[in-house]
Amino acid sequence: MRKLQYTFKTDTLFKMLFVQNQDLLRKLVAVLLRIPLESIQEFVVRNPEIAPEMLGEKFCRLDINMIVNNQRIDLEVQVANEGDYPERVMYYWAREFSSSLAAGQSYSTLPRTIVISIIDFNLFSCAEFYSFFQPLEATRHTLLSDKMGFQFFELTKLPEDINEKDSLLLWLSLFKANTEEELEKIRAMEVPEMEQAINAYYTITASPEFREIERLRAKARHDEAQALHHAEQKAISKRNIEFAKAMIADGEPIDKIVRYTGLTKKEIEALA
C-alpha cells in the first residue's frame, strides 16, 4: 500500500483545504452537526488565515472557527492523545463562549457554542465512535443549557464496511485514510462531494504554498527538538557538576567521581 505523505488529519492541509473550499466545509459541518444542508443560512469562517507566527510554533493547533446559524462552532482535528484532551476542549469552549459577549449585552444573548473534535485515538471506553456531551443534572439528567456542547468522533472505532449512502461515515473515512488505496476506494463510490474533496486534497498537496508551509512547520519541529535536546543536556551537565561538588566535599576520590558523573578529571580538578 502507498502510504500518504499527508492526510486529511494533517493540520495545515485540513485548514487550507476546507477554508479554500468552503462549500465542502459547509457540507462537512452539516453532516457532523446532523442538520440539513439547506437549513444553513449563515455560514462564516472566522479564522481563515494561517498566521505566519503559527508556522514557527511546534505545538500550535490549527482549528477552523465558524459561525453557523448564529452558533459558534469550533472544528478540531487531533491525532495524538496527550492525556488532557477533555480539559483542552473545555478550555477552548470556555474561551470561545466567554469572548462572544459584548459589553452591555445580556447573558441570554450568549450563542450556542459547540466544539467538534475528530480524533485519531480512543478517548472513551465505549464501542460507539460518536459521543455528544452537554451539562445534565447528575440524577434526573435534566439539561441545564443547550448552549454548551462537545462532539467527539473517534476514527479508531469506525466500522470497516462503509457504503455510499452514509455521508457521516464517508466523511470520517476521508480523515481516517492513510493510504492512496483507501482514498481511491472512497472515490470509486462516485459520491460527488467525496470526489470533490479528494480532488481538492491532491490540488492542495501539490501546491507550492502548501509545500512551503509544511517546510516551515518541519523546520520548526526540528528547531524545537534541537532546543529541547540542548536544554536537557545543559540540565544534565548542571546536575552532574552539583553532584561532583558534593562528592568532592565528601572527600571522594577523583576516579569515583568520574565514574558517577561522567565529568573528566580535568573538569573535576577545576571544580576542586
Residues in contact with 266: Cβ distance below 8 Å, sequence separation at least 6, in sequence order: none
Residue with cell 446532523: 34
Average pLDDT over residues 182-191: 94
| Res 57: pLDDT | 52
Contact 13, 7 (CB under 8 A): yes
What gap in Å lies between CA 205 and CA 21, rounded to an integer?
A: 14
Beta bridge partners of 75: 64, 116
Contact 232, 210 (CB under 8 A): no
| Res 96: pLDDT | 94
Whether the pLDDT of residue 79 is over 70: the answer is yes
Q: Please tell me the pTM assigned to this model.
A: 0.80
Contact 173, 158 (CB under 8 A): yes
3-state secondary structure of 78: strand
CA contacts within 13 A on the Cβ side of 241: 10
Confidence of residue 241 (pLDDT cuts 50, 70, 90): confident
Percent of the chain with pLDDT over 90: 64
Digit-coded pLDDT (tens) for 125-181: 999 999 999 999 999 999 999 999 999 999 999 998 888 899 999 999 999 999 999
What gap in Å lies between CA 25 and CA 43, rounded to an integer?
A: 10
